[in-house]
Amino acid sequence: MAKAQNPAFFCSNCGYESSKWLGQCPSCRNWNTFTEAPAAKKQGGGKRKDSRVQNLPVKIREILPESGRRTSTGSSEMDTVLGGGIVKGSMILVGGDPGIGKSTLLLQVCRNLASSGQKVLYVSGEESPSQIKLRADRIGEFPESLYLMCETDLEAIETQIDSLDPDTVVVDSIQTMFSAEASGVLPGSVTQVRAVTGALLRIAKGSGTTVFIVGHVTKEGTMAGPRVLEHMVDTVLYFEGESHSSYRVLRSAKNRFGSTDELGVFEMSGAGLSDVPNASAAMLEGRPESGSGSVVVCAMEGTRPLLLEVQALVCRSNLGIPRRQAAGFDYNRVNILMAVLEKRGGLKLSDCDAYINVAGGVRVREPAMDLAVCAAIISSFRNRPFDRDTVIFGEVGLSGEVRSVGMSDRRLSEAEKLGFGRAVIPAGSRSPGTKGKIEITGVRNVYDVMGLI
């Protein structure tokens, strides 16, 4: 991001800096989002280190490995997403839509950490102690060493952190916190959010306290979304889910201590969130007995195979321009795949409406979904069901060719584990035959797939 010499104005949406006021932000293209930010210069972007901590050059061979310094959060799903547990002194941002369950998730993590002997401080700027107690009662028993503080003034929080000296601090949410350092600016603005995060960063790196920050993702220009903070923290997690579904997915978008693109699946029930270790079985629950337009794909989320049902509904359009919709899958990709099927497969799809849905409320961004989406479209278009006992995955190119995708063995093992008997995969991935109990059919292009339906 380009930075002006002495930025005095900030875009309150994306954090773009400018020396003069602008009507439209050149970065995020929002209008009227520029606000004056007097404290920005003093903060130095919030990245300056505490003067007490002096870092000297060290030999890279002599640095001790990080392993062993990880603490389990008590939830195996969350540990996976974090790359094996919490690294001491790290700063973790948990973002997500309001009401998705961020506070519940973190309160449960706090309880687990406190049960394992840590001293934990949960700071809430959003709810009163009795409201939090109500939630805590639903979750279960709480140990002695979990402290709760309802406060929005950062300086007061810092004082309490100094005197209590907790191992872990949770700040819920960053948009409600207020620092006098950036006085004159409303809480939730980019300047405030930066000032507060900068101060928390000094606490985390200075005293080795692990800090969790909750951030709301809003499209509104007045609130600073967690995007501004992403470069400041060590780990960025996103908590996602569809409001109608009880499943929630935790994803890592950035992780200095582990791989990104890991995924954890949770289920929200009356008693808080619980891990869903066997996500594939949960995602396939309620699959129709028979019917066209439904296929099962094995997608990889990081290193985790996930079986999902892809549904398509293709019907004759009454409109000049056919409607196309996609939930859980890239809309533009649907259009491309339909064009490929039309041109290379000879299916007359251009005057059809098409609706694609990935059941379970998960959003997948993986090329291996292509073949499953094509199969679902063909199945719905011809009104012939796809074999219920078959999983399918592969990437589809613009010439209609099916290209191989990575980790086919892991995908096939997952399908076998869930009792699938057949798999349709790119011919280049494996020689035909069987893998375990799964019978493998290789396909070279979309024609081959059409022949199967």
CB of 138 to ligand TYD, least distance (A): 4
Range 44-103, binding ligand TYD (CB under 6 A): 96, 98-103
Whole-Å CA distances, 451 to 298, 389, 399, 421, 441: 21, 17, 17, 19, 12
CB of 172 to Mg ion, least distance (A): 6
Which partner in Mg ion, ligand TYD, none is near 98 (CB below 5 to 8 A by kind)?
A: ligand TYD
Report which residue type is found at 5.
Answer: Q
CB of 56 to Mg ion, least distance (A): 41
Name which of 170 and 341 has its Cβ closer to ligand TYD.
170
Q: Which stretch binds Mg ion (CB under 5 A): 65-73, 88-96, 99-107, 142-150?
A: 99-107
Out of 83, 272, 400, 426, point to the residue binding ligand TYD (CB under 6 A). 272
Q: Mutual orientation of helices 331-345 and 369-382 as an angle, nearest 10°?
A: 60
Give yes or no for residue 175 binding Mg ion (CB under 5 A): no
End-to-end CA distance of the chain: 50
Name which of 215 and 394 has its Cβ closer to Mg ion.
215
Q: Which stretch binds Mg ion (CB under 5 A): 31-39, 53-61, 103-111, 200-208?
A: 103-111
- Torsion-angle region of 68 (φ positive above 0: left; ψ -120 to 50: alpha; else: beta): left
Peptide bond into 103 cis (omega under 30): no
What is the maximum span of the chain, computed from C-alpha positions, in angstroms?
72
**Binding residues for ligand TYD, how many (CB under 6 A)?**
14
Rounded to whole angstroms, how far apart are CA atoms 96 and 214?
Answer: 8
Out of 217, 268, 284, 327, point to the residue binding ligand TYD (CB under 6 A). 268
Q: Which of 279, 272, 196 is nearest to 233 (CA)?
A: 196
Give yes or no for residue 103 binding Mg ion (CB under 5 A): yes
Give yes or no for residue 130 binding ligand TYD (CB under 6 A): no
Q: Which stretch binds Mg ion (CB under 5 A): 100-108, 261-269, 270-278, 287-295?
A: 100-108
Name which of 268 and 315 has its Cβ closer to Mg ion.
268
CB of 374 to ligand TYD, least distance (A): 36
432 burial level (CB within 10 Å; 0-12, 13-18, 19+): exposed
Whole-Å CA distances, 99 to 105, 106, 194, 364: 11, 13, 24, 22
| Residue closest to Mg ion when measured from CB atoms | 103
Report which residue type is found at 278.
Answer: N
CB of 98 to ligand TYD, least distance (A): 5
Q: Are 170 and 145 in contact (CB under 8 A)?
A: no
Binding site for ligand TYD (CB under 6 A): 96, 98-104, 135, 138, 268, 270-272
